[in-house]
C-alpha cells in the first residue's frame, strides 16, 4: 500500500504559468540581449570573428540554461 505523502503532487496551473513566464524572460534576456550587449561593445573586429563570438556565446548560454533547468527539476522546484 502506498502512502499519500510519498506521491509527488503536481504543481498548479498558476505556478506553472508563472514559472514558464520567468524562465522565458530569463532565457530571452540572456540569449538575445546579453549577446547583443557584448557584441555592441566589441568594435574593430571582423565580421567573421563577431559571428563566431555570437554563435559561441549563444550556445554556451543555451547549455548553461539547460543545465540550470535540469538542476531545478532535480530539486523539484519546477
Identify the three-state secondary structure at position 43: coil
Alpha-helix residue ranges (DSSP H) falling in 1-78: 13-28, 35-40, 47-74
pLDDT band at 59 (very low <50, low <70, confident <90, very high): very high
Q: What is the pLDDT averaged over residues 31-59?
A: 84
How much of the chain exceeds pLDDT 90, in percent? Answer: 12
What are the extents of the domains in the chain?
Answer: 13-74
Question: And the C-alpha cell for 20?
Answer: 514558464
Taking each helix axis from N to C terminus, what angle separates 47-74 and 13-28, rounded to the nearest 10 degrees?
Answer: 160
Question: What local confidence, expressed as pLDDT, does residue 47 receive?
Answer: 85
Question: What local confidence, expressed as pLDDT, does residue 25 receive?
Answer: 93
Separation of alpha carbons 78 and 73, rounded Å:
5
Question: And the C-alpha cell for 26?
Answer: 530569463
- Look at residue 1 and tell me whether its pLDDT is greater than 70: no
Amino acid at each position: 500500500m502506498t502512502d499519500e505523502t510519498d506521491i509527488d503532487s503536481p504543481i498548479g496551473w498558476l505556478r506553472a504559468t508563472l514559472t514558464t513566464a520567468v524562465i522565458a524572460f530569463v532565457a530571452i534576456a540572456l540569449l538575445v540581449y546579453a549577446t547583443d550587449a557584448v557584441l555592441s561593445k566589441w568594435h574593430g573586429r571582423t565580421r567573421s570573428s563577431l559571428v563566431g563570438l555570437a554563435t559561441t556565446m549563444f550556445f554556451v548560454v543555451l547549455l548553461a540554461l539547460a543545465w540550470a533547468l535540469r538542476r531545478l527539476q532535480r530539486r523539484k522546484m519546477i
